[in-house]
A and B are shown apart, each in its own frame.
Chain A
Amino acid sequence: MIEFEHVSKRYPERGDALKDLTFRLEAGEMAFLTGHSGAGKSTLLKLIGLLERPSRGSVRVGDDDLARLPRRRIPAHRRRIGMVFQDHRLLAERSVFDNVALPLVTAGMTRDDIGKRVRAALDQVGLLKLERALPLTLSSGEQQRVGIARAVVGRPEVILADEPTGNLDPELSQEIFRLFERFHQLGVSLLIATHDLDLIQSLGHRTLVLKQGRLVADAIPRPAAPEPGPESDPAPAP
Chain B
Amino acid sequence: MSNRTPRWLRRVGTWAGNHRRAATETLDRLIRAPLGTLMTVAAIAIALALPATLLVSTDNLEGLAGDWRRGAALSLFLSPELDEAAGERLAAALRSRIDIERVAVVSRADGLAEFREYSGLGGAIDQLPGNPLPVVLAVYPAADLSPGEDVDALLAGLAALPGVDFAQADAQWVKRLQAILSLLREGTWLLGGMLALGVVLVVGNTIRLEIENRRDEILVMDLVGATGTFIRRPFIYAGAWYGMLGGMLAWALVDTAIWLLQRPVDRVAALYEAELRLVGLDLHQSLALLALGTLLGMVGSRIAAGRHLQRLRPV
Chain A interfacial positions (CB closer than 8 Å to B): 49-53, 71, 74-79, 83, 89-91, 102-103, 105-112, 150, 154
Complex Cα gap A77–B315 (Å):
13
Check: B146 CB closer than 8 A to any chain A CB. no
Task: Tell me whether A106 and B17 are in contact in the complex, defined as CB-CB below 8 angstroms, given that A75-B226, A91-B216 are known contacts.
Answer: no
0/1 string, B273-315, CB within 8 A of A gives 1: 0000000000000000000000000000000000000000001
Which of A71, A75, A83, A111 has the most chain B CB atoms closer than 10 A to its own CB? A75
Q: Which residues of A contact B1 (CB under 8 A)?
A: 110, 112
Interface size on B (CB < 8 Å)?
A: 23
Task: Tell me whether A154 and B14 are in contact in the complex, defined as CB-CB below 8 angstroms, given that A50-B315, A52-B315, A91-B216 are known contacts.
Answer: no
Q: Which residues of A contact B221 (CB under 8 A)?
A: 102, 106
Q: Is the CB of B315 within 8 A of A91?
A: no
Nearest residue in A to B220 (C-beta to C-beta)? A89
Complex Cα gap A53–B315 (Å):
7
Q: Is the CB of B225 within 8 A of A106?
A: yes
Q: Which of B13, B17, B217, B223 contacts A78 (CB 8 A)?
A: B223
Q: Is the CB of B315 within 8 A of A106?
A: no
Q: Which residues of B contact A77 (CB under 8 A)?
A: 225
Q: Which residues of A contact B21 (CB under 8 A)?
A: 105
Q: Which residues of A contact B10 (CB under 8 A)?
A: 110
Q: Is the CB of A78 within 8 A of B225?
A: yes
A9 vs chain B, min Cβ distance (A):
13
Q: Which of A53, A79, A89 contacts B225 (CB 8 A)?
A: A79
Q: Is the CB of B223 within 8 A of A49?
A: yes
Which of A52, A74, A90 has the most chain B CB atoms closer than 10 A to its own CB? A74
0/1 string, B4-15, CB within 8 A of A gives 1: 000000110111
Q: Which residues of B contact A50 (CB under 8 A)?
A: 315
Segment 168-204 of B: residues with Cβ below 8 Å from A? none
Q: Is the CB of B225 within 8 A of A108?
A: no
Q: Is the CB of B224 within 8 A of A78?
A: yes
**Other 10 A-B pairs with CB < 8 A, given A89-B219, A103-B224:** A51-B315, A52-B315, A78-B224, A78-B225, A79-B225, A91-B217, A103-B225, A106-B225, A106-B227, A108-B18
Task: Tell me whether A91 and B224 are in contact in the complex, defined as CB-CB below 8 angstroms, given that A51-B315, A53-B315, A74-B315 are known contacts.
Answer: no
Complex Cα gap A89–B1 (Å):
32
Nearest residue in A to B18 (C-beta to C-beta)? A108
Q: Which residues of A contact B68 (CB under 8 A)?
A: none
B212 vs chain A, min Cβ distance (A):
16
Q: Which residues of B contact A49 (CB under 8 A)?
A: 223
Nearest residue in A to B13 (C-beta to C-beta)? A110
Complex Cα gap A150–B223 (Å):
11
Q: Is the CB of A71 within 8 A of B315?
A: yes
A144 vs chain B, min Cβ distance (A):
15
Q: Which residues of A contact B13 (CB under 8 A)?
A: 110
Nearest residue in A to B229 (C-beta to C-beta)? A75
Q: Which residues of A contact B17 (CB under 8 A)?
A: 110-111
Q: Is the CB of B315 within 8 A of A89?
A: no
A-B CB contact pairs (8 Å), 8 listed: A52-B315, A53-B315, A71-B315, A78-B224, A102-B221, A102-B224, A106-B230, A111-B17
Complex Cα gap A106–B14 (Å):
11
A214 vs chain B, min Cβ distance (A):
24
Q: Which residues of A contact B227 (CB under 8 A)?
A: 75, 106
Complex Cα gap A77–B225 (Å):
7
Nearest residue in B to A71 (C-beta to C-beta)? B315
Complex Cα gap A109–B208 (Å):
29
Task: Tell me whether A106 and B224 are in contact in the complex, defined as CB-CB below 8 angstroms, given that A52-B315, A53-B315 are known contacts.
Answer: yes
A115 vs chain B, min Cβ distance (A):
13
Complex Cα gap A91–B18 (Å):
19
Q: Which residues of B contact A110 (CB under 8 A)?
A: 1, 10, 13-14, 17
Complex Cα gap A154–B224 (Å):
9
Q: Which residues of B contact A102 (CB under 8 A)?
A: 220-221, 224, 226
Q: Which residues of B contact A108 (CB under 8 A)?
A: 11, 14-15, 18
Q: Which of B217, B219, B223, B225 contacts A107 (CB 8 A)?
A: B225
